[in-house]
Structure 1
Amino acid sequence: MASSSQNNFDLNAVPNVQPEIRHSSSLSQTDPFMTNASVMLDDAVTASVARGIISPQDEKLLADRTDVEAINDSMALSIQCASSVSNMARRLQVRGNEVQELRTQVLSLQRRNRGLQQENKELKKLVDLYANDMRKKYSELEMNTNRLQEQ
Protein backbone atom coordinates (compact mmCIF):
# COMPACT_ATOMS: atom_id res chain seq x y z
CA MET A 1 0.00 0.00 0.00
CA ALA A 2 3.01 2.25 0.36
CA SER A 3 3.36 4.78 -2.40
CA SER A 4 5.59 7.69 -3.22
CA SER A 5 2.53 9.95 -3.45
CA GLN A 6 2.72 12.80 -0.96
CA ASN A 7 -0.66 14.38 -1.79
CA ASN A 8 -2.89 15.15 1.16
CA PHE A 9 -6.25 13.44 1.04
CA ASP A 10 -9.02 16.05 0.84
CA LEU A 11 -12.31 14.69 2.19
CA ASN A 12 -14.17 17.48 0.39
CA ALA A 13 -12.65 16.77 -3.02
CA VAL A 14 -15.09 15.25 -5.49
CA PRO A 15 -13.61 13.16 -8.30
CA ASN A 16 -14.33 14.54 -11.76
CA VAL A 17 -15.73 11.23 -13.00
CA GLN A 18 -19.28 10.37 -14.03
CA PRO A 19 -20.52 7.74 -11.56
CA GLU A 20 -21.12 4.24 -12.84
CA ILE A 21 -24.31 3.03 -11.25
CA ARG A 22 -25.12 -0.62 -10.65
CA HIS A 23 -27.36 -2.49 -8.24
CA SER A 24 -25.68 -4.68 -5.68
CA SER A 25 -27.39 -7.87 -4.54
CA SER A 26 -27.20 -6.70 -0.93
CA LEU A 27 -28.95 -3.41 -1.70
CA SER A 28 -32.58 -3.03 -2.61
CA GLN A 29 -33.38 -2.26 -6.21
CA THR A 30 -34.29 1.28 -5.17
CA ASP A 31 -30.83 1.94 -3.69
CA PRO A 32 -28.26 2.19 -6.48
CA PHE A 33 -24.64 1.62 -5.58
CA MET A 34 -22.07 3.72 -7.39
CA THR A 35 -18.93 1.73 -8.13
CA ASN A 36 -16.75 4.79 -8.52
CA ALA A 37 -18.18 6.69 -5.53
CA SER A 38 -16.13 7.32 -2.43
CA VAL A 39 -17.09 6.13 1.02
CA MET A 40 -15.13 9.06 2.40
CA LEU A 41 -17.05 11.61 0.36
CA ASP A 42 -20.61 10.26 0.33
CA ASP A 43 -22.70 9.33 3.39
CA ALA A 44 -24.88 6.91 1.42
CA VAL A 45 -21.82 5.03 0.24
CA THR A 46 -20.48 5.12 3.80
CA ALA A 47 -23.66 3.40 4.94
CA SER A 48 -23.23 0.81 2.19
CA VAL A 49 -19.66 0.14 3.23
CA ALA A 50 -20.79 -0.18 6.82
CA ARG A 51 -22.99 -3.03 5.57
CA GLY A 52 -19.92 -4.77 4.17
CA ILE A 53 -19.70 -3.38 0.64
CA ILE A 54 -16.32 -2.06 -0.47
CA SER A 55 -16.22 0.70 -3.05
CA PRO A 56 -13.74 0.17 -5.91
CA GLN A 57 -13.14 3.94 -5.97
CA ASP A 58 -11.97 3.79 -2.36
CA GLU A 59 -9.60 0.96 -3.20
CA LYS A 60 -8.09 3.17 -5.90
CA LEU A 61 -7.87 6.19 -3.58
CA LEU A 62 -6.22 4.21 -0.80
CA ALA A 63 -3.84 2.40 -3.17
CA ASP A 64 -2.22 5.72 -4.10
CA ARG A 65 -1.63 6.71 -0.45
CA THR A 66 1.37 6.19 1.73
CA ASP A 67 0.93 3.86 4.66
CA VAL A 68 0.58 6.81 7.03
CA GLU A 69 -2.01 8.49 4.78
CA ALA A 70 -3.93 5.24 4.39
CA ILE A 71 -3.91 4.73 8.15
CA ASN A 72 -5.08 8.31 8.73
CA ASP A 73 -7.81 7.92 6.09
CA SER A 74 -8.86 4.60 7.62
CA MET A 75 -8.96 6.21 11.05
CA ALA A 76 -11.11 9.04 9.69
CA LEU A 77 -13.45 6.47 8.17
CA SER A 78 -13.52 4.51 11.44
CA ILE A 79 -14.43 7.67 13.32
CA GLN A 80 -17.24 8.40 10.81
CA CYS A 81 -18.53 4.84 11.18
CA ALA A 82 -18.33 5.00 14.98
CA SER A 83 -20.17 8.31 14.92
CA SER A 84 -22.87 6.84 12.70
CA VAL A 85 -23.25 3.83 14.98
CA SER A 86 -23.39 6.12 18.01
CA ASN A 87 -26.06 8.28 16.38
CA MET A 88 -28.08 5.21 15.47
CA ALA A 89 -27.76 3.90 19.03
CA ARG A 90 -29.01 7.23 20.40
CA ARG A 91 -31.96 7.17 17.98
CA LEU A 92 -32.77 3.59 18.95
CA GLN A 93 -32.55 4.51 22.64
CA VAL A 94 -34.95 7.43 22.12
CA ARG A 95 -37.33 5.17 20.18
CA GLY A 96 -37.05 2.53 22.90
CA ASN A 97 -37.92 5.15 25.52
CA GLU A 98 -40.89 6.28 23.42
CA VAL A 99 -42.09 2.69 23.09
CA GLN A 100 -41.75 2.13 26.83
CA GLU A 101 -43.67 5.33 27.55
CA LEU A 102 -46.42 4.29 25.15
CA ARG A 103 -46.60 0.84 26.77
CA THR A 104 -46.97 2.48 30.16
CA GLN A 105 -49.75 4.68 28.79
CA VAL A 106 -51.50 1.66 27.25
CA LEU A 107 -51.34 -0.23 30.55
CA SER A 108 -52.68 2.79 32.40
CA LEU A 109 -55.53 3.17 29.90
CA GLN A 110 -56.31 -0.55 30.13
CA ARG A 111 -56.54 -0.31 33.94
CA ARG A 112 -58.72 2.77 33.62
CA ASN A 113 -60.88 1.00 31.06
CA ARG A 114 -61.34 -2.01 33.39
CA GLY A 115 -62.30 0.38 36.20
CA LEU A 116 -64.82 2.15 33.98
CA GLN A 117 -66.26 -1.17 32.81
CA GLN A 118 -66.73 -2.24 36.44
CA GLU A 119 -68.32 1.13 37.24
CA ASN A 120 -70.63 0.74 34.23
CA LYS A 121 -71.72 -2.72 35.48
CA GLU A 122 -72.49 -1.28 38.90
CA LEU A 123 -74.42 1.63 37.37
CA LYS A 124 -76.37 -0.79 35.17
CA LYS A 125 -77.30 -2.82 38.26
CA LEU A 126 -78.47 0.37 39.99
CA VAL A 127 -80.50 1.43 36.95
CA ASP A 128 -82.05 -2.03 36.74
CA LEU A 129 -82.91 -1.96 40.45
CA TYR A 130 -84.37 1.52 40.07
CA ALA A 131 -86.37 0.44 36.99
CA ASN A 132 -87.71 -2.63 38.84
CA ASP A 133 -88.60 -0.49 41.86
CA MET A 134 -90.37 2.04 39.60
CA ARG A 135 -92.33 -0.78 37.89
CA LYS A 136 -93.48 -2.05 41.28
CA LYS A 137 -94.49 1.46 42.36
CA TYR A 138 -96.23 2.04 39.00
CA SER A 139 -98.11 -1.23 39.37
CA GLU A 140 -99.17 -0.28 42.91
CA LEU A 141 -100.20 3.17 41.72
CA GLU A 142 -102.21 1.64 38.88
CA MET A 143 -103.92 -0.75 41.27
CA ASN A 144 -104.72 2.09 43.67
CA THR A 145 -106.03 4.21 40.79
CA ASN A 146 -108.24 1.34 39.62
CA ARG A 147 -109.62 0.83 43.17
CA LEU A 148 -110.34 4.49 43.52
CA GLN A 149 -112.12 4.53 40.18
CA GLU A 150 -114.18 1.49 41.21
CA GLN A 151 -115.20 3.16 44.46
Structure 2
Amino acid sequence: MMLRMRIHHDFTGSGWVAIFSGTETLIGRTWEVDGWDPATGTALVVDPEMGARRPISDYPDFSHLEKANQVVTALPGGGWHGCERAHMPDDPDSPIEPVLAWLVTSTGRLVPVTMDADGGIGSDFDMNRFCPPSRHSGR
Protein backbone atom coordinates (compact mmCIF):
# COMPACT_ATOMS: atom_id res chain seq x y z
CA MET A 1 0.00 0.00 0.00
CA MET A 2 1.42 3.37 -1.00
CA LEU A 3 0.65 6.39 1.18
CA ARG A 4 0.15 9.77 -0.42
CA MET A 5 1.64 12.75 1.42
CA ARG A 6 0.13 16.21 1.03
CA ILE A 7 1.87 19.02 2.88
CA HIS A 8 0.34 22.43 2.48
CA HIS A 9 2.17 24.53 -0.15
CA ASP A 10 2.50 27.42 2.30
CA PHE A 11 5.25 25.64 4.24
CA THR A 12 8.70 26.68 3.12
CA GLY A 13 12.18 26.18 4.51
CA SER A 14 12.99 29.88 4.39
CA GLY A 15 9.58 31.15 5.50
CA TRP A 16 9.16 33.12 2.24
CA VAL A 17 7.70 32.63 -1.26
CA ALA A 18 8.34 34.66 -4.40
CA ILE A 19 5.32 35.64 -6.49
CA PHE A 20 5.70 36.01 -10.25
CA SER A 21 2.96 37.65 -12.32
CA GLY A 22 3.66 35.82 -15.58
CA THR A 23 4.67 36.87 -19.07
CA GLU A 24 3.32 36.25 -22.56
CA THR A 25 4.95 32.80 -22.52
CA LEU A 26 4.86 31.94 -18.77
CA ILE A 27 1.88 31.71 -16.44
CA GLY A 28 1.99 33.37 -13.03
CA ARG A 29 3.63 31.20 -10.42
CA THR A 30 4.80 30.98 -6.83
CA TRP A 31 8.23 29.62 -5.96
CA GLU A 32 9.77 28.95 -2.59
CA VAL A 33 12.60 31.29 -1.65
CA ASP A 34 15.56 28.95 -1.31
CA GLY A 35 17.94 31.40 0.34
CA TRP A 36 19.48 34.86 0.19
CA ASP A 37 22.46 36.10 -1.82
CA PRO A 38 25.15 36.86 0.79
CA ALA A 39 26.53 39.84 -1.16
CA THR A 40 23.30 41.59 -2.20
CA GLY A 41 20.67 40.16 0.17
CA THR A 42 18.47 39.35 -2.84
CA ALA A 43 16.13 36.37 -2.49
CA LEU A 44 17.14 33.26 -4.46
CA VAL A 45 14.85 30.70 -6.09
CA VAL A 46 15.65 27.41 -7.80
CA ASP A 47 15.12 27.69 -11.54
CA PRO A 48 13.86 24.22 -12.61
CA GLU A 49 14.87 24.73 -16.24
CA MET A 50 18.46 25.73 -15.41
CA GLY A 51 18.75 23.47 -12.36
CA ALA A 52 20.40 26.31 -10.45
CA ARG A 53 19.64 29.01 -7.90
CA ARG A 54 18.92 32.43 -9.38
CA PRO A 55 18.16 35.81 -7.86
CA ILE A 56 14.54 36.92 -8.15
CA SER A 57 15.81 40.09 -9.85
CA ASP A 58 16.73 37.93 -12.89
CA TYR A 59 13.02 37.50 -13.66
CA PRO A 60 11.20 40.36 -15.40
CA ASP A 61 7.84 39.20 -14.02
CA PHE A 62 8.89 39.08 -10.35
CA SER A 63 6.11 40.77 -8.40
CA HIS A 64 6.81 40.50 -4.66
CA LEU A 65 7.74 38.32 -1.70
CA GLU A 66 5.19 36.93 0.75
CA LYS A 67 5.72 35.52 4.21
CA ALA A 68 4.92 31.80 4.42
CA ASN A 69 4.64 29.26 7.21
CA GLN A 70 7.93 27.81 8.29
CA VAL A 71 7.94 24.52 10.16
CA VAL A 72 10.41 24.66 13.03
CA THR A 73 9.72 21.25 14.52
CA ALA A 74 7.33 18.31 14.46
CA LEU A 75 5.87 16.47 17.43
CA PRO A 76 4.31 12.99 17.53
CA GLY A 77 0.52 12.84 17.23
CA GLY A 78 0.29 11.14 20.61
CA GLY A 79 -2.93 9.28 19.83
CA TRP A 80 -5.02 12.43 19.26
CA HIS A 81 -7.81 12.53 16.67
CA GLY A 82 -9.44 15.48 14.94
CA CYS A 83 -12.22 16.58 12.65
CA GLU A 84 -13.66 19.75 11.19
CA ARG A 85 -16.57 20.73 13.35
CA ALA A 86 -19.72 21.65 11.50
CA HIS A 87 -21.31 24.95 12.41
CA MET A 88 -24.88 24.30 11.31
CA PRO A 89 -27.35 21.92 13.02
CA ASP A 90 -28.03 19.97 9.80
CA ASP A 91 -24.34 19.92 8.71
CA PRO A 92 -22.47 16.92 10.15
CA ASP A 93 -18.90 17.04 11.41
CA SER A 94 -16.24 15.68 9.06
CA PRO A 95 -14.99 12.14 9.70
CA ILE A 96 -12.63 11.71 12.65
CA GLU A 97 -9.03 11.24 11.50
CA PRO A 98 -5.96 10.19 13.52
CA VAL A 99 -3.34 12.89 14.09
CA LEU A 100 0.01 11.38 13.08
CA ALA A 101 2.06 14.45 13.99
CA TRP A 102 1.81 18.11 14.94
CA LEU A 103 3.79 20.64 12.92
CA VAL A 104 4.95 23.66 14.90
CA THR A 105 5.36 26.79 12.77
CA SER A 106 7.64 29.75 13.39
CA THR A 107 4.57 31.70 14.58
CA GLY A 108 3.79 29.04 17.21
CA ARG A 109 0.80 27.57 15.40
CA LEU A 110 0.19 23.83 15.71
CA VAL A 111 -0.96 22.20 12.47
CA PRO A 112 -2.11 18.58 12.58
CA VAL A 113 -0.86 16.03 10.05
CA THR A 114 -3.66 13.49 9.66
CA MET A 115 -4.53 10.36 7.70
CA ASP A 116 -7.89 10.11 5.96
CA ALA A 117 -9.91 6.94 5.36
CA ASP A 118 -8.20 6.42 1.97
CA GLY A 119 -4.70 6.56 3.50
CA GLY A 120 -4.00 10.11 2.31
CA ILE A 121 -1.65 11.92 4.67
CA GLY A 122 -1.40 15.68 4.88
CA SER A 123 -1.51 18.83 6.93
CA ASP A 124 -4.98 20.11 7.70
CA PHE A 125 -5.55 23.81 8.33
CA ASP A 126 -9.35 23.34 8.66
CA MET A 127 -9.50 20.93 11.60
CA ASN A 128 -10.92 22.69 14.62
CA ARG A 129 -12.01 19.94 16.99
CA PHE A 130 -9.59 17.54 18.66
CA CYS A 131 -10.07 14.59 20.99
CA PRO A 132 -7.37 13.31 23.35
CA PRO A 133 -6.33 9.65 23.08
CA SER A 134 -8.87 8.42 25.63
CA ARG A 135 -11.86 10.18 24.00
CA HIS A 136 -11.52 9.67 20.23
CA SER A 137 -14.05 6.88 19.97
CA GLY A 138 -17.01 9.21 20.59
CA ARG A 139 -17.80 12.77 19.75
Q: What TM-score do you get using the length of structure 1 for normalisation? A: 0.19
Q: Which has the higher contact order (CA 8 A, sep 6+)?
A: 2
Q: What TM-score do you get using the length of structure 2 for normalisation? A: 0.20
Bigger radius of gyration: 1
Give 1 or 2: higher helix fraction: 1
